[in-house]
Copies of this chain bind each other. A is one copy, B any other.
Amino acid sequence: MDDTEKQPVHKRGYGVSTVYETLRNEIIELKLAPGSPVDEQQLSDRFALSRTPIREALVRLAAEGLITTLTNRTTIVSNIDFLGLGEFFDALTLMYRVTTRLAAANHQASDIGGIRALQLQFQTAVEARDVLGMIATNRDFHVAIAEAGRNRYYTDLFTRLLDQGRRILRLYYSSFNDVLPRQYVGEHEDMIQAIINRDIDGADKLAAAHADQIVSQIRSYITADNRQTARLPL
């Protein structure tokens, strides 16, 4: 029945995309630890592909900053840059605001359905206390809003930032309580309503508040984490 062994499941031009997307997910979901080495031969075996397409996928990942290649030496999964978190939060907040504003201004009626569906998924994840699901669907929800805003440049940057954020959130997902997520559900509802009403400034304010929530949440996780290390006996 099945095509005999090693018959590549990918069609001709799609080997690289597969590798790219798979690795991308694994990096964002922290299945590949930051700083861990990425071996080309290993991947070549794993995907049953030559090193050439693997390499091209790695180049793409490097262009997005997800991996770091030390020339002529090993290439590693990029470390999470805790020192640059300030920049990250600043950009993330701005993109939250801009994309939500634009969604209120530019969305079409057909966009709302998709956004609502993702919000529902988020809600479901919250109720099931599925933290990983929450992180993923929250990201999808905001990407959908960004897409309704119809500005490719913002959507691209925002997506990258949100994915970067997923990586950070994963680090702390064990410490999630379930007060905040419920609050997020409400905030999401308000944002949807503002978008539908084409209330641009309202959407902006809600997005800004939402962003501040999330930023301070992540910040508190990090400082809590720091306290752990500070508690070490000396």
Chain A interface residues toward B at CB < 8 A: 12-14, 52, 55-56, 59-60, 63-64, 71-72, 84, 87-88, 90-91, 94, 98, 102, 150-154, 157, 161
Q: Quick check: A161 and B157 within 8 Å, CB to CB?
A: no
Residues of B within 8 A of A153 (CB): 87-88, 91, 157, 161
Given A14-B71, A60-B60, A94-B98; 14 other pairs, CB 8 A cutoff? A12-B72, A52-B52, A56-B56, A56-B59, A59-B59, A60-B63, A63-B63, A87-B151, A87-B153, A90-B102, A91-B151, A91-B154, A153-B157, A153-B161
How many angstroms from the CA of A83 to the CA of B153 in the assembled complex? Answer: 14
Q: Quick check: A13 and B151 within 8 Å, CB to CB?
A: no
Residues of B within 8 A of A14 (CB): 71
Minimum distance in angstroms from A79 CB to a CB of chain B: 14
How many angstroms from the CA of A51 to the CA of B84 in the assembled complex? Answer: 37
Number of identical monomers bound together in the oligomeric complex: 2
How many angstroms from the CA of A60 to the CA of B63 in the assembled complex? Answer: 6
Residues of B within 8 A of A152 (CB): 84, 87
Looking at A59, A98, A154, the one whose CB has the most chain B CB atoms below 10 A away is A59
Residues of B within 8 A of A150 (CB): 87
Residues of B within 8 A of A84 (CB): 152
Minimum distance in angstroms from A72 CB to a CB of chain B: 5
CB-defined A-B contacts under 8 Å, sample of 24: A12-B72, A13-B71, A13-B72, A52-B52, A52-B55, A55-B56, A59-B59, A59-B60, A59-B63, A60-B60, A60-B63, A63-B64, A84-B152, A87-B151, A87-B152, A87-B153, A88-B153, A90-B102, A90-B151, A91-B151, A91-B153, A91-B154, A153-B161, A157-B157
